[in-house]
Amino acid sequence: MSTRLTVGIAQISPVWLSRDATLEKVMDHVSQAADLGAKLVVFGEGLAPGYPFWPDLTGGAQFESALQKDLFALYAREAVDIQGGHLEQLCALAGQRGVAVYLGCIERATDRSAHSLYASLVYIDPRGRVGSVHRKLCPTYEERLVWSPGDGHGLKVHRLEGFRVGGLNCWENWMPLPRAALYGQGENLHVAVWPGSRRNTDDITRFMAKEGRSWVVSVSGLMHRDWIPEDIPGADIMRSSAPEWLTDGGSCVAAPDGSWLLPPRVACEFLECVEVDLGAVYRERQNFDPAGHYSRPDVTRLKVNRKRQSTVKFDD
């Protein structure tokens, strides 16, 4: 059993609201990371085709707004249909290079009408197969104007090179029970994906590492107001309302003792490969294991519903 794993942290921007162009950029970074020896490559939340910045910049809560409808329609067209094959090329590349991938994407789910959108974290294994699709349980604040609430189906941990790796989307990482659901499956490498901003990653990354006595890899996207394409509906309104950096990155890696392996890095695209050691997990679990010797299942236990939710059931 391997005790070391090389992880690629890909802090990149999307080609905003262009699914195919963004996925090309993702595949390029997967290839670069594989060349550097990575066995796992991680990308930020909602990277393909990008995070929905417009509700905060264009009056997103206005009812029956033509602009909001146009933006949602564009977003839905550019969203990722996994069953429709939009990730097939990425899966094939992962299988060819023997690399696992965690990718945050906006999923247009065909099992839920194919019109509503979910912030999904997709795990692709080193054989190029989709291992899990975790739909964000609770969109945050203005995200609720665009994204739908997910379910527990993707709360899964995957074996990878001797590690057990799991992941959550953005503020889900603040939710104690989903974290506990992953700890209970033996997670020792946690992936936290974010749209960006150091204010999100700085404190929680080290906290989760110390709580779980696990490696924690936080990976963000980033977005500058100059990268808003001119042909997007309401682009001029967004540019005039946006700060210079809508999200400034903040990707980082914390060790199981809470120390930084890679401190947060902001305001730049980068691909960094780091090596994590399973031995560090065992050393820190000596005095605290949240789902093992430092748990009391006779007193408190967690029940998790991992059924994929649906509005219909057909008996044919």
Locate the domains of the chain by residue range.
Answer: 4-285
pTM, two decimals, is 0.97
- Contact criterion met (CB below 8 Å) for 175 and 137: yes
Q: Is the CATH code 3.30.360.10 the one for domain 4-285?
A: no
Q: Which pLDDT belongs to residue 16?
A: 98
Phi, psi at residue 231, to the nearest 5°?
Answer: -90, 10
Q: Which pLDDT belongs to residue 1?
A: 59
Q: Which pLDDT belongs to residue 34?
A: 98
Q: Which pLDDT belongs to residue 278?
A: 97
**Neighbouring residues of 14: CB distance < 8 A, sequence distance ≥ 6:** 22, 25, 47, 48, 49, 50, 51, 221, 223
Residue 123, classed as helix, strand or coil, is: strand
Query: Residue 124 has which token pair?
Result: 């692709």
In whole angstroms, what is the distance from residue 254 CA to residue 187 CA?
A: 15
Q: What is the mean pLDDT of each run of 10 residues along the chain (316 residues)?
A: 90 98 98 98 98 97 97 98 98 98 98 96 98 98 97 98 97 98 98 96 98 98 97 97 97 98 98 98 98 97 96 90
Instruction: Find, among 112, 130, 110, the residue nearest to 121 by Cα.
Output: 130
Query: Residue 208 has which token pair?
Result: 């989760």
